[in-house]
């Protein structure tokens, strides 16, 4: 079997390599790169490419790193299209909608959960997303949450225990008891399968004190914090995330100056999720304000059955450029390298030596077309660890 592959005739290559002296995306024109045993081995101009065992002619397309989805909720069962339709008719969204998914998720078998996860993972992959973080959070009992992260660990890249999404009906009026159950029962068992601990610190979900207790317990069991914060109103989610050195705080729609300053002086990534704001008619986050302050920004789709039922990062890039005031370059970086930073990964989100060979080819001469041609399926080929997972017959393979 061939061990090295040369990808050549690339019109525009986005490397995200800061060593390339051509802006934040590290763009190389008329480019080529070599993949060897699933990793990037060499990158440069096509005219200087060394030999390889196989050669792929990309036929003048743009190539960029695979998108990195750092925020999704794929451990679920059921459909909430009726709720969506009602909301579009003027019914205001509040966090209680999450409860409508809990019953069906709790009754699902392992195979049903896995089949559903794989379905949406495959959707992501076809659209250029090669790494997906998957959260639990629709079981909200010890047994169901442990089941969810255990199943997710068999078929996803990054697994998060969303221990505190919203308290289930049986804990109505007894949220502190739910938090204590999560600390005593859920987290110790789920920590065997998850890497991350997450909490929805928000009005209608969990208070700052309850969120702090959940995150503290997660850290004590070796989990790394993430936070849903400041989505529906101003609150303490951002400052709590920075306090815990969380990898990311996600949504970040309503921010004070103190929130922005704290993020700018921290290691915590601000993840914007415009699909959720699009689907709930919420305000969009001001990504321009964050970027101008020096905050690291990631961009995700937030696929979930209630408030952002999309797996299309290109769709979110288009929204980010139009409504979050990001440039096309900034949005692409946020969806690739930004997502990698939100997962504290340095082996993805870039095309440079040593990185995993996760990338896509576009039916376009450059990455700008992702925002320039919204809604058009431009992804013509996707590779994960050097293997073509989805591709067009027009992509030519030539034996070297």
* Euclidean distance between CA atoms 43 and 23, whole angstroms: 16
pLDDT(96) > 70 = no
Intra-chain end-to-end CA distance of the chain, in Å = 13
Of the residues 298, 327, 342, the one at which a domain ends: 342
Q: Are residues 169 and 295 in the same domain?
A: yes
Q: Are residues 233 and 94 in the same domain?
A: yes
pLDDT band at 94 (very low <50, low <70, confident <90, very high): low
Question: Is 304 among the annotated ligand-binding positions?
Answer: yes
Q: What is the pLDDT of residues 69-84, one digit of tens each?
A: 999 999 999 888 888 8
Question: Is 221 among the annotated ligand-binding positions?
Answer: no
Question: Is 73 among the annotated ligand-binding positions?
Answer: yes
Q: Are residues 311 and 243 in the same domain?
A: yes
Mean pLDDT of 306-316: 96
Q: Are residues 250 and 393 in the same domain?
A: no
What's the structural domain count of the chain?
A: 2
Question: Is 124 among the annotated ligand-binding positions?
Answer: no
pLDDT(333) > 70 = yes
pLDDT of residue 393: 46
Q: What is the pLDDT of residues 123-145, one digit of tens each?
A: 999 999 999 999 999 999 999 99
Q: What is the pLDDT of residues 52-75, one digit of tens each?
A: 999 999 999 999 999 999 999 999
Of the residues 324, 342, 360, the one at which a domain ends: 342
Mean pLDDT over the full length of the chain: 94
The CATH number of whichever domain residue 387 belongs to comes to 2.30.40.10
The CATH number of whichever domain residue 134 belongs to comes to 3.20.20.140
Mean pLDDT of 100-110: 92
Q: Are residues 380 and 308 in the same domain?
A: no
Q: Are residues 237 and 356 in the same domain?
A: no
pLDDT of residue 21: 72
Residues spanned by the domain of 34: 4-66+349-399
pLDDT(154) > 60 = yes
Task: Name the CA dihedral angle for 233, 234, 239, 244, rounded to a multiple of 10 degrees.
Answer: -20
pLDDT of residue 92: 66
Question: Is 251 among the annotated ligand-binding positions?
Answer: no
Question: Is 165 among the annotated ligand-binding positions?
Answer: yes
Q: Are residues 58 and 157 in the same domain?
A: no
Q: Are residues 138 and 29 in the same domain?
A: no
| Kind and range of the H or E run holding 379 | strand 379-384
Q: Report pTM.
A: 0.95
Q: Are residues 199 and 270 in the same domain?
A: yes
Q: Are residues 308 and 238 in the same domain?
A: yes
Q: Are residues 137 and 83 in the same domain?
A: yes
Question: Is 212 among the annotated ligand-binding positions?
Answer: no
Q: Are residues 71 and 41 in the same domain?
A: no
pLDDT(398) > 80 = no
| Helix 110-126 vs helix 142-152: crossing angle, to nearest 10 | 50
């Amino acid at each position: 079997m061939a061990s090295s592959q040369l990808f050549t005739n690339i019109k525009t290559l986005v490397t995200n390599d800061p060593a390339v002296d051509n802006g934040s995306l590290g763009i190389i024109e008329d480019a080529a790169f070599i993949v060897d045993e699933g990793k990037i081995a060499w990158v440069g101009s096509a005219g200087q490419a060394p030999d390889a065992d196989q050669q792929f002619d990309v036929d003048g397309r743009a190539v960029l790193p695979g998108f990195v989805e750092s925020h999704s909720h794929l451990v679920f069962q059921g459909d909430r299209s009726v709720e969506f339709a009602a909301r579009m008719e003027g019914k205001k969204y509040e966090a209680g909608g999450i409860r409508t998914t809990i019953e069906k998720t709790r009754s699902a078998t392992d195979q049903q959960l896995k089949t559903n996860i794989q379905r949406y993972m495959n959707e992501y992959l076809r659209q250029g997303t090669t790494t997906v973080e998957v959260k639990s959070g629709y079981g909200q009992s010890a047994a169901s949450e442990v089941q969810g992260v255990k199943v997710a660990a068999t078929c996803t890249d990054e697994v998060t225990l969303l221990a505190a999404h919203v308290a289930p009906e049986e804990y109505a009026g007894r949220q502190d008891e739910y938090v204590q159950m999560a600390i005593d029962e859920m987290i110790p068992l789920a920590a065997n399968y998850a890497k991350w601990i997450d909490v929805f610190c928000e009005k209608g979900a969990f208070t700052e004190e309850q969120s702090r207790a959940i995150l503290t317990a997660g850290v004590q069991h070796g989990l790394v914090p993430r936070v849903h914060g400041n989505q529906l109103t101003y609150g303490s989610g951002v400052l709590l995330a920075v306090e815990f050195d969380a990898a990311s705080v996600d949504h970040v729609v309503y921010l004070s100056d103190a929130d922005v300053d704290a993020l700018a002086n921290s290691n915590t990534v601000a993840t914007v999720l415009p699909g959720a704001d699009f689907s709930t008619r919420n305000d969009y986050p001001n990504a321009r304000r964050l970027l101008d302050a020096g905050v690291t920004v990631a961009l995700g789709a937030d696929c979930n059955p209630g408030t952002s039922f999309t797996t299309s990062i290109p769709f979110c890039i288009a929204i980010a450029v139009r409504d979050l005031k990001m440039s096309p370059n900034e949005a692409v970086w946020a969806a690739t390298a930004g997502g990698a930073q939100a997962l504290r990964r340095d082996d993805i989100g870039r095309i440079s030596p040593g990185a995993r060979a996760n990338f896509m080819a576009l039916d376009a001469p450059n990455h700008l077309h992702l925002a320039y041609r919204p809604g058009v399926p431009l992804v013509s080929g996707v590779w994960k660890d050097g293997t073509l997972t989805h591709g067009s017959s027009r992509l030519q393979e030539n034996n070297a």
